[in-house]
């Protein structure tokens, strides 16, 4: 597998793990100094915003606490297309830009008798990722989820 | 076999006074909703944004109150003014963007003017009509620009830079008078130095706006939030006072939040607001649907725009101090988002709960009584805040919240015998 393929593989695997709520497996794709953030630009306040952020341990902690929280258990599924992978000359680092659409399939968010099973677009945005590559494995060192969607209604406890 | 509660038992009044419960029809009835827009939302002062959202001359911001589109401008004199965002020619909405600047010209008009794109009438930042295309050819001397200004609304910048607007020309109160003392507890913290909005997002939720306001007014629902139970629930927490003010406003006193008790969370003691002791938390809920919430290092403001009996738009803002350095600002943002962001611990839980109320209170449903009957010495889990709100609501609507078909009757000591 080429280094660019290794990057794509990590991106798609991260989607799969998060879709399946395998948070530990997702974080295992990330390097120790991993930084996660969800950001958006607001045309209302004309400013860049951060909606969520954390390093690997903080994300791990947040996921660990989930069972203590009331939450909308409607699953999120990510549809992702990797648009561009750029490798550094020595092949040790890479950046990638992907498009992402997240669908939510209602389970218990509203009135399950009526809504359960209905899928809707939850949000759209892009992934801006940075990787460290060694021995053909691309590990995330940074993921910025840049959202277009800013009307997030009930929101979510799940990372995107 | 006896049922736990049959129809008659379910629909008969609870063992409370009339002020201690409300009829769920006030959350679902279309006529009551329309009446609320007319009698309440078109009559009161509503904060619509923060002045930092239109910082420079020629900046604008658009919004709505009670379905009326509104545009705010900042003129060269630095003053923020509010107008109906409606062209006096044939009623087109003047500006469609949420915010921006009129410094540059638009495709139909000149720089520094509000231009209606339809037939190119132009207005200045003070709302004066300054250009009517082919005026003399079409109107001869029958119509003057001076007659075609924008409809200007009363507008004030007050309380840490929030911009307040009212559709009510007859209102006889300033915002300060309207607030009736409810804002005093946070004024020193918010007025010491300029603030800036760092967070904005909105939610459209299938519930009545009052259900969201109720959630902001009562802390009994901290049972919903693991975060608040573990960082709160101690003697100081249970001693927090709930205080009512004129015009239906309330506020909730502070205590020191033990942020460290939540795994992965950190004390906010290094970053606060002027005059706010570290890790403290004050809450103000203003009639009819505004919330200011200062928690440690960040200020949250919710503004509610009712869209239907079972639909509300809530705009969430987070604010810090304008002169924050980058590191301080980043901490404020992280603190704010970890609880109140769209992916935060608490906001999602609150929104889930009111969604649940909304989906269980359909019009013509078998009547529900919504209980507001807790009395705990006007402390944090007392429901006096909601009772105070509904008393005011009843007055403005001339309807009893516990039976909206009946005209409002002022509370007497006799009716609150069990109170
Ligand atoms: S409607 Fe605005 S110029 Fe005609
Ligand atoms: Fe809450």
**ipTM for this model:** 0.97
Read off the pLDDT of residues B104-124 as tens digits, 9 standing for 90 and up.
989 999 999 999 999 999 999
pLDDT value at residue A1: 87
Same domain, B229 and B341: yes
Read off the pLDDT of residues B58-77 as tens digits, 9 standing for 90 and up.
999 999 999 999 999 999 99
Pick the residue whose CA is nearest to atom 3 on ligand 1.
B119
Is residue A46 less than 8 Å (CB to CB) from chain B?
yes
Ligand nearest to the CA of B353: 2
Counting the structural domains of chain B, the total is 2
Is residue B53 less than 8 Å (CB to CB) from chain A?
yes
**DSSP letters spanning B240-273:** -BEEE-GGG-EEE---B--GGGSTT----TTS--
CA of B94 to the centre of ligand 1 (A): 8
Instruction: Show Cβ contacts of residue A36 under 8 Å, excluding neighbours closer than 6 positions.
Output: A30, A52, A53, A54, A55, A56, A59, A142, A143, A159
Tell me whether residue B248 is in a domain: yes
Chain B residues whose beta carbon lies within 8 Å of the beta carbon of residue A109: 352, 355
Does the CB atom of residue B87 touch ligand 1 within 6 A? Answer: yes
Is residue B333 less than 8 Å (CB to CB) from chain A?
yes
pLDDT value at residue B326: 97
Distance separating alpha carbons of residues B8 and B5, to the nearest angstrom:
8
CATH of the domain at B378: 3.90.380.10
Read off the pLDDT of residues B212-236 as tens digits, 9 standing for 90 and up.
999 999 999 999 999 999 999 999 9
Same domain, B205 and B333: yes
Tell me whether residue B410 is in a domain: no
Instruction: Show Cβ contacts of residue B280 under 8 Å, excluding neighbours closer than 6 positions.
Output: B254, B255, B256, B257, B272, B294, B296
Tell me whether residue B321 is in a domain: yes
Ligand nearest to the CA of B135: 1
3-class DSSP state of A112: helix
Is residue B348 less than 8 Å (CB to CB) from chain A?
yes
Closest by CA to A154, choosing from A124, A122, A125, A115, is A122
End-to-end CA distance of chain A: 27
Read off the pLDDT of residues B277-331 as tens digits, 9 standing for 90 and up.
999 999 999 999 999 999 989 999 999 999 999 999 999 999 999 999 999 999 9
pLDDT value at residue B411: 85
Q: Which residue of A has its CA nearest to B319?
A: A45
Same domain, B100 and B238: no
Same domain, B146 and B248: no
Structural domains for chain A:
3-147 (3.10.450.50)
Same domain, B189 and B151: no
Q: Tell me which residue range forms the domain holding B201.
A: 184-397
Q: Which residue of B has its CA nearest to A38?
A: B343
> E-strand spans in B40-79?
46-50, 59-65, 68-74
Pick the residue whose CA is nearest to atom 4 on ligand 1.
B119
Mutant choice from B212, B352, B354, B360 vs A, greatest count of A C-beta within 10 A: B352
CA of B16 to the centre of ligand 2 (A): 25
Tell me whether residue B11 is in a domain: no
> Would the CB atoms of A44 and B99 count as touching at under 8 Å?
yes
Does the CB atom of residue B117 touch ligand 1 within 6 A? Answer: no
Same domain, B135 and B190: no
pLDDT value at residue B415: 43
Residue in B99, B202, B348 closest to A157 by CB: B348
pLDDT value at residue B265: 84
Chain B residues whose beta carbon lies within 8 Å of the beta carbon of residue A69: 226-227, 345, 349
Tell me whether residue B381 is in a domain: yes
Same domain, B268 and B382: yes
CA B283 to chain A, closest CA, distance in angstroms equals 22
pLDDT value at residue B201: 97
pLDDT value at residue B391: 98
Is residue B199 less than 8 Å (CB to CB) from chain A?
yes
Q: What is the dihedral of CA B238, B239, B244, B250, to 10 degrees?
A: -60
Question: In angstroms, what CA-CA distances link B1 with B4, B6, B12, B366?
Answer: 10, 11, 20, 22
Same domain, B75 and B134: yes
Per-residue pLDDT of chain A (160 residues; tens, 9 = 90+): 899 999 999 999 999 999 999 999 999 999 999 999 999 999 999 999 999 999 999 999 999 999 999 999 999 999 999 999 999 999 999 999 999 999 999 999 889 999 999 999 999 999 999 999 999 999 999 999 999 999 999 999 999 9
User: What is the dihedral sign for C-alpha B114, B116, B117, B121?
Assistant: negative
Structure tokens at B301: 């403001």
Q: Which residues of chain B have pLDDT under 50?
A: 414-419
Q: Which residue of B has its CA nearest to A50?
A: B333
Does the CB atom of residue B46 touch ligand 1 within 6 A? Answer: no
Tell me whether residue B376 is in a domain: yes
pLDDT value at residue B419: 35
CA of B116 to the centre of ligand 1 (A): 6
CATH of the domain at B59: 2.102.10.10
> Would the CB atoms of A61 and B355 count as touching at under 8 Å?
no
Task: Tell me phi and psi for residue B405, to 5 degrees.
Answer: -75, -15
CA B144 to chain A, closest CA, distance in angstroms equals 35
Tell me whether residue B27 is in a domain: no
- B104, B136, B156 — which closes off a domain? B156
**What are the residues facing B199 on neighbouring strands?**
B318
Same domain, B123 and B204: no
Q: Which residue of B has its CA nearest to A68?
A: B226
Q: Which residue of B has its CA nearest to A42?
A: B200
Is residue A48 less than 8 Å (CB to CB) from chain B?
no
Same domain, B120 and B240: no
Tell me whether residue B132 is in a domain: yes
Same domain, B121 and B216: no
Same domain, B150 and B191: no
Does the CB atom of residue B116 touch ligand 1 within 6 A? Answer: yes
Tell me the Ramachandran region of residue B100: left when phi exceeds 0, alpha when psi lies from -120 to 50, beta otherwise: left
């Amino acid at each position: 597998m080429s280094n660019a393929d290794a990057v794509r593989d990590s991106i798609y695997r991260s989607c799969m793990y998060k879709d399946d709520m395998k948070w530990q497996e997702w974080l295992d794709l990330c390097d120790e100094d991993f930084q996660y953030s969800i950001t958006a630009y607001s045309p209302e306040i004309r400013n860049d915003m951060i909606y969520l952020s954390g390093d690997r341990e903080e994300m791990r902690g947040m996921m660990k606490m989930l069972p203590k929280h009331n939450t909308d258990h409607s699953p999120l599924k990510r549809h992702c297309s990797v648009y561009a992978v750029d490798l550094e000359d020595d092949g040790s680092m890479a950046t990638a830009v992907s498009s992402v659409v997240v669908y939510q399939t209602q389970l218990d968010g509203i009135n399950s008798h009526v809504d359960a099973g209905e899928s809707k677009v939850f949000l759209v945005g892009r992934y801006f990722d940075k990787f460290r590559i060694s021995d053909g494995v691309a590990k995330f060192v940074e993921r910025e989820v840049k959202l277009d969607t800013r009307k997030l209604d009930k929101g979510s406890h799940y990372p995107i | 076999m006896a049922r736990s509660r049959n129809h008659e038992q379910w629909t008969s009044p609870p063992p409370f006074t009339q002020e201690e419960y409300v009829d769920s029809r006030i959350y679902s009835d279309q006529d009551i909703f329309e009446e609320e827009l007319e009698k309440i939302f078109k009559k009161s002062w509503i904060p619509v944004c923060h002045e930092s959202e239109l910082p420079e001359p020629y900046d604008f911001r658009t919004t709505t109150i009670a379905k009326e589109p509104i545009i705010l401008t900042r003129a060269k004199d630095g003053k923020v003014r509010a107008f109906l965002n409606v062209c006096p020619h044939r009623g087109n909405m003047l500006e469609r963007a949420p915010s921006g600047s009129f410094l540059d010209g638009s495709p139909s008009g000149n720089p520094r003017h509000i231009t209606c794109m339809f037939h190119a009438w132009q207005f200045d930042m003070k709302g004066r009509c300054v250009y009517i295309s082919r005026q003399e050819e079409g109107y001869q001397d029958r119509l003057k620009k001076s007659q075609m200004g924008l409809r200007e609304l009363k507008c004030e910048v007050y309380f840490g830079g929030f911009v307040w607007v009212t559709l009510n020309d007859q209102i006889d109160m300033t915002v300060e008078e309207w607030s009736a003392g409810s804002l005093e507890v946070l004024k020193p913290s918010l007025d010491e130095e300029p603030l800036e909005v760092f967070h904005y997002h909105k939610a459209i939720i299938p519930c009545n706006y009052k259900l969201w306001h109720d959630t902001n007014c009562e802390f009994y629902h901290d049972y919903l939030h693991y975060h608040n139970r573990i960082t709160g629930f101690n003697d100081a927490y249970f001693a927090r006072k709930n205080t009512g003010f004129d015009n239906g406003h309330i506020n909730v006193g502070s205590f020191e939040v033990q942020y460290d008790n939540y795994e992965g969370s950190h004390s906010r003691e290094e970053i606060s607001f002027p005059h706010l002791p570290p890790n403290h938390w004050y809450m103000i809920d203003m009639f009819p649907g505004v919330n200011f919430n200062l928690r440690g290092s960040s200020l949250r403001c919710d503004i509610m725009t009712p869209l239907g009996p079972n639909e509300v738009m809530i705009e969430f803002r987070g604010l810090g101090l304008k002169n924050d350095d980058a590191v301080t600002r980043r901490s404020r943002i992280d603190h704010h988002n970890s609880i109140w962001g769209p992916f935060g611990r608490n906001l999602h839980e609150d929104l889930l709960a009111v969604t649940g109320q909304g989906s269980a209170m359909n019009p013509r449903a078998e009547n529900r009584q919504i209980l507001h009957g807790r009395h705990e010495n006007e402390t944090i889990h007392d429901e006096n805040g909601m009772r105070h709100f509904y008393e005011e609501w009843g007055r403005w609507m001339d309807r009893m919240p516990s039976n909206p078909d009946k005209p409002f009757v002022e509370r007497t000591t006799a009716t609150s015998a069990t109170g």
